[in-house]
Amino acid sequence: MNGVVGDIPAGSPGFDGAASRRLLARLRDVMAGSGSGQERLDKIVTLIGMEMGADVCSCYVMRAGEVLELFSTLGLNQDAVHNTRLRVGEGIVGDIAGHARPIALDNAPSHPSFAYRPETGEDPFLSLAGVPILRGGKVRGVLVIQHKDRRRYTEVEVETLQTIAMVVAELVAQGELVNPQEVASTGDPALLPARLSGTSLASGLAMGLAVIHRPQLTIRQMVSEDAESELARLNAAIATMHSAIDDLLNAAALAGLSEPKDILETYRMFAEDRGWLSRIREAIRMGLTAEGAVQQVQNDTRARMSHLTDPYIRERLLDLEDLTNRLLQHLAGRKSEADGGTLPEDIVLVARSMGPAELLDYDQRRLRGVILEEGSPSSHVCIVARALNIPVVQAPDALNRIEPLDPVIVDGDHGQAFVRPAEDIQMAFAEAVALRARKEQMYEAIRAQPSVTRDGVPISIQLNCGLLIDLPHLKASGAEGIGLYRTEIPFMVRSTYPDVHAQTDLYSRILDQTDDKPVVFRTLDVGGDKMLPYIAASEGEENPALGWRAIRIGLDHPSLLRQQLRALLRASAGRPLSVMFPMIAEVAEFDAARRLLDLEINRLKGQGGEPPSRVRVGTMIEVPALLWQLPALLPRVDFLSVGSNDLTQYIFASDRGNPRTSGRYDPLSPAMMSLLRRLVEACGDAGVPVSICGEMAGRPLDAMALIGIGFRTLSMSPPSVGPVKTMLRSLDVAVLRQYMNGLYLRGDHSLRDKLRSFAKDHGVII
């Protein structure tokens, strides 16, 4: 709420759950009646205003160019209809559309986004509640009610508006209000070649014919008076969906696909989540059909999570959308699009987003590549795609640029796609495929070779992991161990905190699958906008990256940290254990965390349990303040690991998630290189091993620089092992160190170009 003071009325006196159900029942009659889309929209707007006791009800519809046009109103000047327009982000209505989330205000004119439009005659109205009209994850318009008096809007009122907005979204989608091509098309792309620039989500090269993946169903019936019947339909659909997921699991197991199998195990956990299912059932009891309830819960989830920046949480949203679409298909009795017998032999899937099960629905023998409008490298669908050697590219607006059966080249190495490629592009593609095959052969040839530089310096290459599905890469890549195991990721797929037994079982499985190779477990690194659902968030953090996260949560809730440490100790019985604490800012924090570990060690021994054969304790170097406490820290630790991603953003006061600043500062700057060199020297003098596990460790040129300043252990993602190992086996460290000695005192922005020239001049393969 905005500016809630004094004694402000809370909602319409009689508008409760029963009133909401009556309104939805009358809405169903309007939708089933005759008349044009505009006529039915006018009736809906009038109905809302009368039933909810609003002085104003208005509906804005998205037009081409991201313009919101007032399409219907009760209470504002009728002359403003089809004449008042707002851009997305302009005014409160534009703000609702821009953020795809509801707003409820008791004093709208005082809101910073308020934009006065005199032609509407909205001067007398103080309170406002508005919701986005969403379909297919895109904003199609905004639905608003207003009152003259200041008042608080209730949750029932906002949820009712959201439900009605789903109905209006169908009017828009069916072309009854706006020609769908007006918004979806910015020209005729059907004949000309096109290059789509985007982001690589899974490397590789592929060519095939486009298959448009549109799993969302059109929901014709939104409201129902028979809740019990709808609940029965829902339960039957859930049962068949679980059975279908089990069939996919069995197929993955029979094919020996360990990674997709483990992903689907996690996916099935989502499908059985009680919170998700209970919200759907509650929506049915409020008067929705099973399909309408499923869609409303998903719209609400997307609206609540759309502002979060944490990639892992956004990736789980894609899994939930996959489940939503799958459940809707089972409710409708419709087969998956992947069952079609008319699909081409070489398939390039094009979709807004996908879940792992949707990908596995398609024939893997024909699937060549994937283009997504939304996704990230660590999303489940991309993990599965990498396991199947399928390249994936994220390309915004792909669905508007690609037609069904268009020839498409997917370049997962450079994050781009070529639609209807010209002959010269196809020839270049064939050459690139041949070059990639030669590189893969080179990486395969050195996989079993030692990680030793040309002048005999051994370099330990280790992996960054976070799920059981990552572990097969350890043997396949030739890495020497796991330098960073992110323990928080399994916690984030659960709706409740896993108990000590569940954690012990997980950590035991990890150690069992690593064949006695070293594993460094980082304790929970959550917080900010990456909160676990069962830990109360810290409200109002302006910069979550600097807020209540990682070890700060562990020390404030010592029982959580102690349970995790207890599980790690039990799982490591008779085996070495390496534990690393994240986000340590001062030695006192490390001492406090170490005391909790010592308490658990003594507890285990007191209960007669078998302790680990050896316990090594270290910390991440992420917070710059710790670099000025090394004399006190180094005698206390067994090892250190540099988290270069966070350290870089903290050193330069530059948010790595902000596109305006993320590329402004280079980790290969003289300042960063000098700082890291001093750290390596201090650790060497104290006899404390130090590694680096950020993204720069997995980039060949950056890794070369890190070796040059003294790092001898690099931890990286599995795909980086081959390129980095190839680089270091062609590197003479002594020559590089001598070259770099003269670079630190220069005032250059970055050493990258000079290091690239060095590599070229000295035959270093980067």
Q: Show the tokens assigned to 6.
A: 């004094």
The whole-number pLDDT of residue 358 equals 77
661 class by beta-carbon count within 10 Å (0-12 exposed, 13-18 middle, 19+ buried): middle
Query: Which residue of the set 213, 330, 380, 473 is catalytic?
Result: 380
Torsion sign over Cα 270, 272, 275, 276: positive
Report domain 194-432's class: alpha beta
**Hey, what CATH topology would domain 17-183 get?**
Beta-Lactamase (3.30.450)
Whole-prediction pTM value?
Answer: 0.58
The whole-number pLDDT of residue 307 equals 54
The whole-number pLDDT of residue 5 equals 34
Which residue stretches of the chain have pLDDT < 50?
1-7, 183-191, 258
- Contacts of residue 632, defined as CB under 8 A and 6 or more positions apart, other chains included, come to 587
**382: annotated active-site residue:** no
The whole-number pLDDT of residue 439 equals 79
Which sequence spans correspond to the domains of the chain? Answer: 17-183, 194-432, 439-459+643-766, 462-639
* Per-residue H/E/C for 506-569: HHHHHHHCCCCCCEEEECCCCECCECCCCCCCCCCCCCHHHCCECHHHHHHCHHHHHHHHHHHH
Query: Which residue of the set 57, 59, 465, 693 is catalytic?
Result: 693
**414: annotated active-site residue:** no
Tens-place pLDDT, residues 86-114: 989 899 999 999 988 899 999 999 888 88
Report domain 439-459+643-766's class: alpha beta
User: How far is it, in rounded angstroms, from Cα 376 to Cα 514?
Assistant: 27
Torsion sign over Cα 75, 77, 80, 81: positive
The whole-number pLDDT of residue 218 equals 62
The whole-number pLDDT of residue 266 equals 55
The two domains 194-432 and 439-459+643-766 share their CATH topology (first three levels equal): no
Q: Over the range 258-285, which residues count as b (16 or more CB within 10 Å of their CB) and which as e?
A: bbbbbbbebbbebbebeebbebbbebbe
The whole-number pLDDT of residue 263 equals 54
**For 113, phi and psi rounded to 5 degrees?**
-90, -5
**Hey, what CATH topology would domain 462-639 get?**
TIM Barrel (3.20.20)
The whole-number pLDDT of residue 1 equals 39
Place of tokens 């990486």: 443
User: How far is it, in rounded angstroms, from Cα 60 to Cα 141?
Assistant: 5
